[in-house]
């Protein structure tokens, strides 16, 4: 075997493992899948066996998605979604149990948002707050509204009937970017100025929270036949503003409470050098406690989890605990979300909605996102030499960062479980947008950054 042949084989090997891994799960699900679930469900002495087996499969799929994508530009999230789709039958014990499904997905989302707060230094967040807030608050509203109009227009042109509730909810659900997909990409780039990198990371952490608040606000409306413009105008009503005020206030209060609990743990560990397993589990559960506390008082649990992480500074004696926490995010929280969202999808329905989903995703990435970024931050291009200014090239880079990931996926799941109006196409269109943004943006972001001259 020549050196060139060996190199070619080495490059192809990861894709071979990827095909084998996905094929194995698909074969297990398609052929004996129904019989496996039936037999496990018929065990009177072990009624939880089907759910426990599905949890074990989540662990196996997490392993496959991480290791099979090593050496490829394919994000592990995408493979997790595909594994969820092909393992549809085997994941049914969880998907059919709405309580278990909601608990796993929302708990994982709270942990991910907490991690997003931890990864954003508070000083950098405050320094860039105006720019971040422009992108994450009016920017999310503009993005959501434009996406809703795009979906309505694409559906009409392509001959699809999409319920008003679906286009309104999809605009809110998909409006935020995903720090879990963005951070690994930008961390490997040598930026000439830190500002563009810090903006996209901080924006992705905050707009996830804003996206959840916007979706929650629409849940309060009667969406049966409401027009897109009317839905967004309703956000200015006294009732909606009061609801959002309560969500924000209690979210911040319980986020601060979570920070206090973290500080108590950090103080305890400063005096006790010995490490215990309880340290990790307490650290992991604090964002869940903040989430539940906020929700119990009518606040935003996701905001509480994010604020707790944002306020808590990284400490040297807590590094081992934080390292375990980040491993839990990568190995458990993210795979749970993407696998279960994939398991919700009917493959034939996904193909049926492909024209609308693909068209919406491309318009979303290459028209709506750049338009929103230049509307919100274009004024900073007027002073490119200033320390607080942004060049047109930097704005173009920020415009290209459009990964849609974990929190939109969570909102898809919770929406399906919560709404009473018809939602045909909601999961399928949402899935196309998530898949295309995760497939296109992460591999191309380094190339775009270098071509624009903002990174080396």
Q: For the segment 369-418, what is each residue's pLDDT rounded down to a tens digit?
A: 999 999 999 999 887 667 778 999 999 999 998 888 788 888 888 887 77
CA–CA gap between residue 419 and residue 205 (Å, rounded) = 26
CB atoms within 10 A of CB 329: 20
What is the 8-class DSSP label of residue 74? Answer: S
pLDDT for residue 2:
60
pLDDT for residue 202:
81
- Tell me the fold of 105-451: Na+/H+ antiporter like fold (1.20.1530)
CA–CA gap between residue 100 and residue 442 (Å, rounded) = 31
Q: Which pLDDT band, with edges at 50, 70 and 90, does 294 fall under?
A: very high
CA–CA gap between residue 205 and residue 183 (Å, rounded) = 10
Q: Considering the chain, what percentage of its residues have pLDDT values greater than 70? A: 95
- Tens digits of per-residue pLDDT, 227-237? 888 888 888 88
- Say if CB 269 and CB 321 are below 8 A apart: yes
Length of the chain: 456
What are the residues facing 155 on neighbouring strands? none
pLDDT for residue 421:
64
Identify the three-state secondary structure at position 405.
coil
Whether 20 shows a pLDDT value over 80: the answer reads yes
Q: Which pLDDT band, with edges at 50, 70 and 90, does 314 fall under?
A: confident
Least confident among 89-98, 270-279, 316-325 = 270-279
Mean predicted lDDT score pLDDT of the chain: 87
Q: Which pLDDT band, with edges at 50, 70 and 90, does 309 fall under?
A: very high
Whether 9 shows a pLDDT value over 60: the answer reads no
Q: Which pLDDT band, with edges at 50, 70 and 90, does 77 fall under?
A: confident
Burial class of residue 296, CB neighbours in 10 A (0-12, 13-18, 19+): exposed
Residues 6+ apart with CB under 8 A from 427: 341, 344, 345, 412, 416
Identify the three-state secondary structure at position 191.
strand
Q: pTM of the entire structure?
A: 0.86
Query: Would you list the DSSP string of 416-446?
Result: HHH--S--TTHHHHHHHHHHHHHHHHHHHHH
User: In the predicted model, what is the mean pLDDT of residues 231-244?
Assistant: 88
Q: How far is CA 163 from the centre of its chain?
A: 24
pLDDT for residue 120:
78
pLDDT for residue 393:
92
Closest by CA to 287, choosing from 318, 265, 264, 261, is 261
- Tens digits of per-residue pLDDT, 29-76? 988 999 999 999 898 888 889 989 999 999 999 999 988 888 787 888
- Tens digits of per-residue pLDDT, 172-220? 999 888 766 777 777 777 888 888 888 888 888 788 888 888 988 888 8
User: In the predicted model, what is the mean pLDDT of residues 101-127?
Assistant: 85
CA–CA gap between residue 142 and residue 146 (Å, rounded) = 6
Strand (E) or helix (H) holding 55? helix 49-68
Phi, psi for 414 (deg, rounded to 5): -65, -30
pLDDT for residue 180:
64
Q: Which pLDDT band, with edges at 50, 70 and 90, does 351 fall under?
A: very high
Closest by CA to 354, choosing from 238, 435, 417, is 435
């Amino acid at each position: 075997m020549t050196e060139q042949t060996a190199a070619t084989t080495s490059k192809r090997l990861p894709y071979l493992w990827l095909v084998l891994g996905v094929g194995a799960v698909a074969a297990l699900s398609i052929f004996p899948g129904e019989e496996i679930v039936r037999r496990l469900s018929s065990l009177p002495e072990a009624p939880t066996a089907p759910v426990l087996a599905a949890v074990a499969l989540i662990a196996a799929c997490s392993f496959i998605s991480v290791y099979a994508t090593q050496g490829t530009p394919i994000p592990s999230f995408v493979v997790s979604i595909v594994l969820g789709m092909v393992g549809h039958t085997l994941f049914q014990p969880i998907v059919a149990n709405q309580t278990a499904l909601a608990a796993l997905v929302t708990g994982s989302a709270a942990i991910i948002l907490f991690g997003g707060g931890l990864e954003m230094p508070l000083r950098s967040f405050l320094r860039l707050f105006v720019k971040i807030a422009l992108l994450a608050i009016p920017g999310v509203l503009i993005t959501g509204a434009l996406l809703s109009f795009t979906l309505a227009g694409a559906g009409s042109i392509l001959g699809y009937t999409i319920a008003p509730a679906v286009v309104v909810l999809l605009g809110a659900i998909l409006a935020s970017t995903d720090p879990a997909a963005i951070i690994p990409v930008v961390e490997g780039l040598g930026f000439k100025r830190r500002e563009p990198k810090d903006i996209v990371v901080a924006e992705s952490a905050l707009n996830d929270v804003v996206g959840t608040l916007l979706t929650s606000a629409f849940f309060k409306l009667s969406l049966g036949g409401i027009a897109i413009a009317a839905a967004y105008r309703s956000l200015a009503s006294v009732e909606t503003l009061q609801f959002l005020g309560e969500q924000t206030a209690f979210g911040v209060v319980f986020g601060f409470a979570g920070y206090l609990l973290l500080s108590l743990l950090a103080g305890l560990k400063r005096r006790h050098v010995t490490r215990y397993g309880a340290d990790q589990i307490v650290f992991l559960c604090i964002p869940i406690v903040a989430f539940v506390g906020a929700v119990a008082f009518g606040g935003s649990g996701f905001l509480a989890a994010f604020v707790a992480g944002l306020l808590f500074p990284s400490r040297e004696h807590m590094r081992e605990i934080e390292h375990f926490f980040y491993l839990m995010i990568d190995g458990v929280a993210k795979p749970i979300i993407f696998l279960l969202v994939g398991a919700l999808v009917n493959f034939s329905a996904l193909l049926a909605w492909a024209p609308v989903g693909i068209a919406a995703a491309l318009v979303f990435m290459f028209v709506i996102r750049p338009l929103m970024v230049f509307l919100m931050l274009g004024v900073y291009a007027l002073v490119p030499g200033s320390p607080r200014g942004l060049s047109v090239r930097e704005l173009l880079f920020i415009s290209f960062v459009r990964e849609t990931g974990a929190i939109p996926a969570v909102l898809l799941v919770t929406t399906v479980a919560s709404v009473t109006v018809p939602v045909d196409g909601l999961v399928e269109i949402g899935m196309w947008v998530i898949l295309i943004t995760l497939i296109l943006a992460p591999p191309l972001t380094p190339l775009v950054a270098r071509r624009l001259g903002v990174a080396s």
